[in-house]
Amino acid sequence: MKDETCAYCMTWDDPSLMNAYGIPLAELDNSNLILFKEQSHPGRVIVAAKQHVDDISDLSEEEALAYMADVRRVAAALHKAFAPQKINFGAYGDLMHHLHFHLVPKYSDDDYEWGDVFAMNPGRVALTQAEYDELGKKILAALED
């Protein structure tokens, strides 16, 4: 089921719904991969379930495991592409009622938020379109390996 007012449901049909915060990168088996525009943490992405559900408990066990396999696959690609010391996983859903995880690479040599919870949208780092394209290519290449 799709909700036509939901940016995550409409990732490919109407990407303009997420223009303010994300760039669609890839359709995975059970989710959509979205590059988060605010890149204070290089490589930050969103993995949004293809199904319009509010919570992981709304999925069957099989569906939940399949979705989490996509999350794990993306995390492995981020480790390969960027070599962060840690990836933080956030799934709040207070404002966007569609199951999604933020995968936020953290780097110990960057004092910004190391050891703290990541800010949802700190507004610190915006890239040029060419930089977003390059970042997206790097993530997609790591996913394909």
pLDDT of 93 higher than 80: no
Query: Reading across the β-sheet that carries 86-90, which strands appear in turn?
Result: 22-27, 31-36, 45-49, 100-106, 86-90
* 8-state DSSP, 117: P
- Residue range 6-32, pLDDT digits in tens: 999 998 899 888 888 899 999 999 999
- Residue range 62-87, pLDDT digits in tens: 999 999 999 999 999 999 999 999 99
Contact (CB, 8 A) for 120 and 40: no
pLDDT of 119 higher than 90: no
The whole-number pLDDT of residue 121 equals 65
The whole-number pLDDT of residue 84 equals 96
Q: Which tokens belong to 4? A: 């036509």
pLDDT of 123 higher than 80: no
* Mean pLDDT, rounded, for 118-137: 84
Q: Is 116 helix (H, G, I), strand (E, B) or coil?
A: coil
One-letter amino acid of 120: M
